[in-house]
């Protein structure tokens, strides 16, 4: 277990205002939204009108999915939900923890995207997928996309992203590192260089992410009572396995 440095998750709290600058919702996320929509339409055994986005963050996926579905988003952090609401005024957003929340209703489709990476233990990972199952109608489809798996993880990978808006210039430096590849978590560290009209501010952030092998994903999905179909999604040099998971009728 990693214990020396505490998780801060500032990107979802006091630095959440930076989230809109890290990846453009209407361009970078649009293609993925079409991929998700295609999988839902292809695999569903019922009409698909409603969709639940679990860990919706700043609502970038919601923006694109709302073209096809009536979308509800759930997230743990109010600052991220505020971003999501500003971007998607017509959608419904609820505060909740994916390990435990129960909305008391079911949806035709569920998206479990990058937020599940924050499930850094097997118990939390299983609990989050049970939440997804509990909110899906029989014959509906959950789309789950592991951000990284044991197979795709690249030790010490460091990416730099730059963005600018209204006098603010930001550099995001993101590093991933797994001190113990035998366990099921790794660490993400982010350095933010924020220039507000030229004045530099340097901030740091850090969180622990879960990492599971593709076979572990498949096993847990089967045990959660999903029928699982693998597909692949490629963006730039990265190939992602995307699971289309049907809840048996
Ligand atoms: C990378 S962001 C998701 C961005 C999102 N895909 C979008 O379209 O903007 C990850 C999100 O996971 C959320 N999160 C982390 N742990 C969570 C939990 N236990 N339950 C619900 N949301 C959680 C964070 O608050 C954060 O907003």
The whole-angstrom separation of Cα 72 and Cα 49 is: 11
Q: pLDDT tens digits for 96-124?
A: 999 999 999 999 999 999 999 999 999 99
Q: Hey, what's the torsion of the CAs at 73, 77, 83, 86, to 10 degrees?
A: 60
235 lies in a domain? yes
**CA-proximal residue: ligand 1, atom 26 (nearest):** 57
Using pLDDT thresholds of 50, 70 and 90, give the confidence band for residue 6: confident
Token pair recorded at residue 232: 């692949």
Kindly report the average pLDDT of the chain as a whole number.
Answer: 96
Closest by CA to 10, choosing from 172, 167, 233, is: 172
Ligand 1 pocket check for 9: Cβ under 6 Å: no
**Total tally of structural domains belonging to the chain:** 1
Report the residue among 13, 76, 135 best suited for mutation to probe ligand 1: largest number of ligand atoms under 8 A from its CB: 76
Q: Give residue 2's pLDDT.
A: 46
Q: pLDDT tens digits for 142-184?
A: 999 999 999 999 999 999 999 999 999 999 999 999 999 999 9
The whole-angstrom separation of Cα 222 and Cα 71 is: 26
> Quick check: 22 pLDDT over 50?
yes
What's the domain range around 139?
15-149+212-246
- pLDDT mean over 74-92: 98
- Distance from residue 112's CA to the centre of ligand 1 (Å): 10
198 lies in a domain? no
State the maximum Cα–Cα separation within the chain, in Å, rounded to a whole number.
Answer: 58
Using pLDDT thresholds of 50, 70 and 90, give the confidence band for residue 3: low
What's the whole-model pTM score? 0.96
H or E element that contains 160: strand 158-165
Q: Residue 232's domain is classified under what CATH number?
A: 3.40.50.150
């Amino acid at each position: 277990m990693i214990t020396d440095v505490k998780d801060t998750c500032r990107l979802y709290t006091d630095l959440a205002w930076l989230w809109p600058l890290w990846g453009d919702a209407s361009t970078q996320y649009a293609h993925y939204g079409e991929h998700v929509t295609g999988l839902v339409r292809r695999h569903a055994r019922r009409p698909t009108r409603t969709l639940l986005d679990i860990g919706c963050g700043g609502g970038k996926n919601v923006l694109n999915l709302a073209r096809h579905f009536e979308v509800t988003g759930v997230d743990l952090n109010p600052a991220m939900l505020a971003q999501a609401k500003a971007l998607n005024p017509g959608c419904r957003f609820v505060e909740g923890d994916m390990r435990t929340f129960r909305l008391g209703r079911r949806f035709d489709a569920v998206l479990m995207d990058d937020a599940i990476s924050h499930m850094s233990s097997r118990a939390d990972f299983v609990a989050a997928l049970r939440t997804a199952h509990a909110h899906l109608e029989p014959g509906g489809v959950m789309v789950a996309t592991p951000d990284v798996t044991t197979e795709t993880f690249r030790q010490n990978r460091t990416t730099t992203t730059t963005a600018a808006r209204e006098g603010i210039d930001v550099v995001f430096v993101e590093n991933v590192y797994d001190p113990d590849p035998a366990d099921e978590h790794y660490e993400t560290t982010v350095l933010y260089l924020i220039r507000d009209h030229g004045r530099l501010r340097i901030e740091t952030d850090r969180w622990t992410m879960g990492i599971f092998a593709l076979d572990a994903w498949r096993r847990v999905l089967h045990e959660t009572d999903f029928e699982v179909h693998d597909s692949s999604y490629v963006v730039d040099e990265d190939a992602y396995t995307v699971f289309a998971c049907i809840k048996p009728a």
